[in-house]
Amino acid sequence: MNLANYLKRINYTGEVKPDLATLTAIHRAHLLAIPYENLDIHRDCPVTVDVAQIYEKIVMEHRGGWCFEMNGLFEWVLREVGFDVTLMSSYVGRSEVTETGVGDHLIMRVMLDKPYLADVGFGNGFIEPLPLAEGTYQQGYLSFALSQKECRWWFQNHIYGGFGYDFDLKPYQLSDFAGQSTRLQTSPESGFVRATVCMRFTPEGYIALRGAVLRTVTSAGEADETIDNLSRYEQILSEQFDLHLPDVDALWDKVWARHQMWVKDNNT
């Protein structure tokens, strides 16, 4: 595991030191270069919470990952640089607290002059770290909010992004999320099992490929395209997400079959 290889992977050539400017720059560069994706689940390739294996996949094999991989790797990077960083647990998309403990989403707190919320593993969240303080935060044309109720924090995503998440400040280790990682990649009830997802930020916004539907989000709004053939699907993965899979044809067969089933279910 080598920090220089990671910085090359995210196309970062700036100064590296444990300050807010570096944190903001590499957080942004990570999200512009590395896609959020869950394709291995649909390729029958188990997803790990071992940071060395995550590094090999994302940095050396030029892949993306989901929250446990993306934020697990980013925590290692921040520690290598010298940041004071803590992994935390969160729960996505709920309106009230029904349980606490190891949730379904991994996030980070970074301590500088004040605490910051870092998260490169949410797919369509904030591109730069947020101060961990109540308020509304604007990043380009996207608006986010953080609020606190008793001992829990609530992150509200932008209007195009859907769900936010809630969390407390209890520290965790990456290995603590092994059970959730296994559940989310094997349970028939898991959204990660039901559909493929790829997301990546662009200078104009972000792109999201859910199953066979590509959504592009810019300041002008949302635009959707249904992908209906292997050639176009492979082109999107390659050109839009910089993903090059040897078994893309088999993956496409699964994606298209699920899409046709979804269309049928929604038209009956």
Catalytic-residue membership of 105:
yes
Looking at residue 141, its pLDDT comes to 94
With respect to residue 136, please indicate whether it lies within any of the assigned structural domains: no
Give the mean pLDDT of the chain.
Answer: 96
Band of the pLDDT at 96, cuts 50, 70, 90?
Answer: confident
Band of the pLDDT at 268, cuts 50, 70, 90?
Answer: low
How many CA atoms lie less than 13 Å away from 63 in the CB half-sphere?
Answer: 19
Tokens 């301590």, residue located: 111
Total domains present in the chain: 1
Whether the predicted pLDDT of 147 surpasses 90: yes
Contact 251, 241 (CB under 8 A): no
With respect to residue 211, please indicate whether it lies within any of the assigned structural domains: yes
Segment 38-56 mean pLDDT: 97
Q: Which domain holds residue 243?
A: 192-266
Q: Give the separation between CA 102 and CA 106, rounded to whole angstroms.
A: 9
Segment 254-265 mean pLDDT: 88
With respect to residue 4, please indicate whether it lies within any of the assigned structural domains: no
Tokens 């269309």, residue located: 263
Answer positive or negative: Cα dihedral of 168, 169, 171, 174.
positive
With respect to residue 42, please indicate whether it lies within any of the assigned structural domains: no
Q: Give the separation between CA 60 and CA 100, rounded to whole angstroms.
A: 35
Give start and end residues of each alpha helix (H) in the chain: 3-9, 20-33, 39-42, 51-55, 67-81, 178-186, 191-194, 230-235, 241, 248-266
With respect to residue 113, please indicate whether it lies within any of the assigned structural domains: no
Catalytic-residue membership of 259:
no
Higher pLDDT, 163 or 177: 177
Q: Give the separation between CA 156 and CA 169, rounded to whole angstroms.
A: 17
Band of the pLDDT at 17, cuts 50, 70, 90?
Answer: very high
Residue 240 belongs to a domain with what CATH number? 3.30.2140.10
Question: For the chain, how big is the Rg over CA atoms in Å?
Answer: 18
With respect to residue 228, please indicate whether it lies within any of the assigned structural domains: yes
Catalytic-residue membership of 244:
no
CB atoms within 10 A of CB 94: 15
Q: What's the CA dihedral at 60, 61, 62, 64 to 10 degrees? A: -110
152 Cβ contact list (under 8 Å, min separation 6): 97, 166, 167, 168
Percent of the chain with pLDDT over 70: 100
Angle between helices 67-81 and 20-33 (to 10 degrees): 150
Considering the entire predicted model, what is its pTM? Answer: 0.95
Looking at residue 264, its pLDDT comes to 80
Percent of the chain with pLDDT over 90: 92
Segment 89-94 mean pLDDT: 96
Whether the predicted pLDDT of 151 surpasses 90: no
In sequence order, what are the beta bridge partners of 100?
none
Contact 246, 231 (CB under 8 A): no
User: Can you spell out the DSSP letters for 163-179?
Assistant: --EEE----B-GGGGHH
* DSSP single-letter state for residue 212: T
Q: Per-residue pLDDT tens for 226-253?
A: 999 999 999 999 999 999 999 999 999 9
With respect to residue 257, please indicate whether it lies within any of the assigned structural domains: yes
- Which position among 67, 104, 166, 198 bears the catalytic label? 67
- Which position among 30, 105, 158, 259 bears the catalytic label? 105
**How far does CA 37 lie from the centroid of its chain?**
7
Q: Report residue 245 as tokens.
A: 């899979």
With respect to residue 215, please indicate whether it lies within any of the assigned structural domains: yes
Task: Encode 210-243: b = buried (16+ Cβ within 10 Å), e = exposed.
Answer: bbbebbbbbeeeeeeeebeeeeebbebbeebbeb
Q: Per-residue pLDDT tens for 170-219?
A: 999 999 999 999 999 999 999 999 999 999 999 999 999 999 999 999 99
Band of the pLDDT at 155, cuts 50, 70, 90?
Answer: very high
Contact 52, 102 (CB under 8 A): no
- Which position among 40, 104, 119, 166 bears the catalytic label? 119
Q: Give the separation between CA 165 and CA 157, rounded to whole angstroms.
A: 8
